[in-house]
Amino acid sequence: MDADFWQKRWHDGQIGFHQDRATPLLEAHWNAAEVPSGGRVFVPLAGKSLDMLWLAARGHRVLGVELSPLAVEQFFVENRLTPSISESRYGRHYVAGAIELILGDAFALDAETLADCVGVFDRAALIALPASMRRRYAANLYSKLPDGCRGLLITLEYPQYEKAGPPFSVVEAEVRALFERDWRIEPLERKDIIDTQIAFREEGVTALTTAAYRLERWNTRQVSERG
């Protein structure tokens, strides 16, 4: 599953993962994440998510990264925003108000780019990736976020053999295996949503749960003490 896969999804309009409103679990649990007011929030694999507008409306500065030019263009056009545009080694930067969206590869970002991100919101990034890429994603991208960074992770759980992702099923045991060494993990909510997800049912999925986790990155000393 490479960049061409996602470019084709956007080109063909196969973007069932896009929501026409802010994520309800974000609205319900963002305060629990305790991200400092006005702090910068990282939104990986952002697409044209309205969650970025929701976060900006609550006083945060937002840094998103997305590899599809169509997604980036649609985000600004559909929300009637006129961005300033610049280039860097990370890609093309679109900035409008408190929102900066980088057209580029999330895996190419470094710790310097993410150094002032005190928060992270991940709704459709981790679950968009197959297992091998999830390991790389957690090890190489989340590790670049600074000590003390806090955020909210949203996942889906279903019998993986019943459906070919994306989105993929990511159970709590995997969340802990991926993040627990460097992040404090606190489950916030689990909810059965199969009755509301017609597309999943039509594909033969018999059970579907969404889960929300609060994340907080340990500092370097704490990681050493934990072994």
pLDDT digits (tens, 9 = 90+) for 118-157: 999 999 899 999 999 999 999 999 999 999 999 999 999 9
Q: Is 45 annotated as a binding residue?
A: yes
pLDDT in tens, 153-187: 999 999 999 998 889 999 999 999 999 999 999 99
The answer to whether residue 17 is domain-embedded is: no
The reply to whether 40 sits in an annotated binding site is no
The proportion of the chain whose per-residue pLDDT surpasses 90, expressed as a percent, equals 81
Answer yes or no: is 172 within a domain.
Answer: yes
pLDDT tens per residue, range 66-99: 989 999 999 999 999 999 999 999 999 999 999 9
Q: What is the DSSP letter of 99?
A: E
Residue 128 located in a structural domain: yes
How many CA atoms does the CB half-sphere of 200 hold within 13 Å? Answer: 25
Phi, psi of 124 (to 5 degrees): -125, 20
18 occurs within a structural domain: no
Q: What is the CATH number of the domain that holds 27?
A: 3.40.50.150
Q: Are 24 and 103 in contact, with CB atoms under 8 Å apart?
A: no
Asked if the structure places residue 178 within a domain, the reply is: yes
* Cis, peptide link before residue 69, omega less than 30° from 0: no
Residue 6 neighbours by CB distance under 10 Å: 20
pLDDT of residue 15: 53
Structural domain contains residue 183: yes
Q: In the chain, how many domains are there?
A: 1
Task: Confirm or deny that 141 is annotated as ligand binding.
Answer: no
SS3 state of residue 67 = coil
Q: How far is CA 143 from the centre of its chain?
A: 15
- Reported as type and span, the H/E element at residue 87 is strand 84-88
pLDDT above 60 for 223: no
Question: Could you list the residue range(s) of the whole structural domain that residue 165 is in?
Answer: 3-12+23-226
Alpha-carbon distances of 182 from 171, 174, 178, 219, rounded to whole Å: 18, 14, 9, 8
The reply to whether 72 falls in a domain is yes
pLDDT value at residue 19? 62
Establish if 101 belongs to a structural domain.
yes
Q: Is 123 annotated as a binding residue?
A: yes
